[in-house]
Structure 1
Amino acid sequence: MTGMLTRWRPLAGFGLAALVLFGLAPAVLSDFRLNLLGKFLCFAIVAVGIGLAWGRGGMLTLGQGVFFGLGAYMMAMHLKIADAELKGNDVPDFMQIAGIGELPGYWTPFTSPFVTILAILVVPALVAFVLGLGVFKRRVKGAYFAILSQALAAAFAILLVGQQSIGGSNGLNRFRTFFGFNLNDPANKRMLFFIAAGVLLLVVALTRQLMYSRYGELLVAVRDQEERVRFLGYDPANIKVVAYVVAAFFAGIAGALFVPIVGIISPADVGIVPSIAFLIGVAIGGRATLLGPVLGAIGVAWAQSTLSENFPSGWIYAQGLLFIVVVGFFPAGVAGLIELIRRRKPRADAPRDETPDALPELEVAR
């Protein structure tokens, strides 16, 4: 009976999440709040990948904004081309203002919806694969890897600012259609929310399979005892690269969904600050758990949106304080704190004078 409950518990959890996202949220939230929640779901997709790479693999990824930005800008380029074609123009509107009369060569592939989707799925993962091999094969880890990934995010944002052919510091905005659907139609905006919700559930399901597979065990082993894993005949670099690529793959998809939902992408959305914001949500939710990064990312983003409406200048300080408190006193995050309380609670069928010899340690990334 216990085994059956254990087997069906994940399916029940996914069913409950689907009911909340596809039934309850559209019923109780206004169109504006539902669209805002769709934006937060994009952040949650990024957070799931960070939870896998950082929480399970011990890789402090401070540069996820790069992969998020790659997916976002590729989607934005296609949407701007599609809008220009509807008006009968050769180039998007911002290029006309800037005096660019011909579509740049690197924009041309994104005239095709198929090529755009394929690039969104492949390019961020391919970039992460190349970077991961170069970094992990040289045994770069810890603070050095974190600094390197953060520098990469800063360089990417600076590069975008200097490129007027992709909007410069203003970025790309004012999208009117999404693969032929009018973005001003509330029904289509709801469709985007449902797409984001479905992608999030798929991402969580895939990550769960990875976590509880043989590979997931190896990833945790590399995090805790990398030299022992190498002694057993495995290459820790290859194991790390897979997690890094999966996290980049998720971030690229999230960026592509972010663009039509929010309606803008700029260098400010892909630099150091957004990359750290992704990390804060994961840390607060619980980086070593499956659902902790999701709930943390949504909760922090929702709090930022709500509190910044009333305290515009105070939220950033509250966010920093919350991050310090969690990292300093609750390293397992909110999910780890809940698990600790649950394990401390005595079982109803246990004798009153029975006390456990030792409390099982929470699985926390070191």
Structure 2
Amino acid sequence: MSAAKHHAIAFGLFALLGVVVPLLNYWGLVADTTINLWGRYFCFAIVALGVDLIWGFTGILSLCQAFFFCLGGYAIGMHMLLKTGNESVYGSVLPDFMVWNQVEELPLFWEPFHSLPLTLLLGLLVPGAAAMAFGFLAFRSRIKGVYFAIITQALALAMWLMFLRNETMLGGTNGLTDFKTLLGFELSDPATKRGLYAVACVALLGAYYLCRFIVGSKLGKVLVAVRDGEHRLRFIGYQITHYKLFVFVVASALAGLGGMLYVPQTGIITPGRMDVQASIEIVVWTAVGGRATLVGAIVGAVLINLLYSFLTGAFPGTWLYFLGALFLGVVLFFPEGIVGVIERWRNKMATA
């Protein structure tokens, strides 16, 4: 199948999900909870696209993407709390958790989040800047492979511990919650939920085409070459650090975008979303769907979370074993992932 047909199918599918499904919800044929769940799945898929870009195409296993996801989530959460104003439990302009902790003045670093445009910008820039600072030190030192995975895991753990502390003025263990509105729209309103779902769908489409553009360009060929033979590129004069840093920043910004879209739909963001397990789960989504395919990242994120929603309800005591067995089965018997298996089968049928 040609690339043009792939793009046409992808666009048609996203149009179906982004337009038809909200209409079905409006007509009462699709439940509000379904709209809300799928909106979250789209947010997870955006993060998985970034992981596929950095791990699947570039060969860099990052285990701190959930941290960048939470940076975006906390950014939009701070904005929504500030807009709650006197509607909070204590009737204070300060968030409730600050009142609990006897904080009398809004911390300075909260001030920029009064503005939604600035919040959206910071939700992308802060994860990107954090990735640039951390990645520059790591890549300049030529840390790679399992060692890079370990230090990113350590970063996720350190940030998780820091965000748990009340002194950070970010809600501590409880995180940020009790959001009321976004842009003046009630978050509990079904129409708002449809709007957030549609925005998440459009954002996922944009993220997919951005990643597709990158991997289809000369830059994308260099990224694959970094994965397959980094030392050869160094030998012929390529500045590998720049390419690694670029893809790490892009993946982190995508994670921040996913976090900003996720929090208004769930109504809460806590440090639990940035722990090591959360980052490993994102890698699992990508591996199950199929590395270095982009579509596989989306399929894996949606499928695993669908299974999670079903299994936790049907088998509350053993659901984790089912997901573990699925992951082991894919890795052992279908290392190319679900999309890779489908592509192999289709190619086999075409040549038969």
- TM-score range normalised by the length of the shorter chain: over 0.9
Q: Report the Cα offset of residue 49 of structure 1.
A: 0.4
Q: Report the Cα offset of residue 26 of structure 1.
A: 4.9
Measure, in 1, the Cα distance between the counterparts of 2:240 and 2:175. Answer: 38
1:205-244 CA-to-partner distances (Å, cap 9, x unmatched) read 1100001100010000010011111122211111111111
Q: Report the Cα offset of residue 345 of structure 1.
A: 2.2
**Are 2:189 and 1:185 equivalent residues in the alignment?**
yes
Q: Report the Cα offset of residue 100 of structure 1.
A: 1.8
TM-score by length of 1: 0.90
Measure, in 2, the Cα distance between the counterparts of 1:102 and 1:308. Answer: 42
RMSD over aligned Cα, in angstroms?
1.7
Against the structure 1 CA distance between its residues 6 and 210, is the aligned structure 2 distance closer, same or farther, given a 3 Å change threshold?
Answer: closer
Against the structure 1 CA distance between its residues 11 and 38, is the aligned structure 2 distance closer, same or farther, given a 3 Å change threshold?
Answer: same
Q: Structure 2 matches for 1:266-281, cutoff 5 A?
A: 266-281=270-285
Larger displacement relative to structure 2 (16-25 or 61-70): 16-25
**Are 2:42 and 1:45 equivalent residues in the alignment?**
no
Q: Report the Cα offset of residue 12 of structure 1.
A: 3.6
Larger displacement relative to structure 2 (252-261 or 230-239): 230-239
**Are 2:4 and 1:10 equivalent residues in the alignment?**
no
Q: Report the Cα offset of residue 97 of structure 1.
A: 2.4
Partner SS state of residue 147, structure 2: helix
Aligned to 1:353: none
Measure, in 1, the Cα distance between the counterparts of 2:106 and 2:6. Answer: 52
Larger displacement relative to structure 2 (321-330 or 5-14): 5-14
Partner SS state of residue 184, structure 1: coil
Aligned to 1:76: 77
Contact map agreement 1:90 1:102 (CA 8 A) in 2: no
Paired residue type of 1:233: G
Q: Structure 2 matches for 1:316-331, cutoff 5 A?
A: 316-331=320-335
Aligned to 1:103: 106
Q: Report the Cα offset of residue 324 of structure 1.
A: 1.9
Contact map agreement 2:22 2:198 (CA 8 A) in 1: no
Against the structure 1 CA distance between its residues 26 and 41, is the aligned structure 2 distance closer, same or farther, given a 3 Å change threshold?
Answer: farther
Paired residue type of 1:156: M
1:232-268 CA-to-partner distances (Å, cap 9, x unmatched) read 2211111111111110010001111111010000011
Aligned to 2:128: 125
1:119-141 CA-to-partner distances (Å, cap 9, x unmatched) read 11211111111111111111111
Aligned to 1:19: 16
TM-score by length of 2: 0.94
Match of 1:284 among 258, 281, 288: 288
Aligned to 1:356: none
Q: Report the Cα offset of residue 314 of structure 1.
A: 1.2
1:65-124 CA-to-partner distances (Å, cap 9, x unmatched) read 110011111111111111025566331122222322221122122122222112112111
Paired residue type of 1:10: H
**Are 2:205 and 1:201 equivalent residues in the alignment?**
yes
Q: Structure 2 matches for 1:84-163, cutoff 5 A?
A: 84=85, 89-163=92-166
What percentage of residue pairs aligned between the two structures are identical?
A: 41
Q: Structure 2 matches for 1:160-175, cutoff 5 A?
A: 160-163=163-166, 165-175=169-179
Paired residue type of 2:131: A
Measure, in 2, the Cα distance between the counterparts of 1:202 and 1:215. Answer: 19
Measure, in 2, the Cα distance between the counterparts of 1:338 and 1:8. Answer: 16
Match of 2:250 among 214, 229, 246: 246
Q: Structure 2 matches for 1:49-64, cutoff 5 A?
A: 49-64=50-65
Against the structure 1 CA distance between its residues 106 and 149, is the aligned structure 2 distance closer, same or farther, given a 3 Å change threshold?
Answer: same
Aligned to 2:298: 294
Q: Report the Cα offset of residue 281 of structure 1.
A: 0.7
Against the structure 1 CA distance between its residues 99 and 210, is the aligned structure 2 distance closer, same or farther, given a 3 Å change threshold?
Answer: same
Against the structure 1 CA distance between its residues 313 and 26, is the aligned structure 2 distance closer, same or farther, given a 3 Å change threshold?
Answer: farther
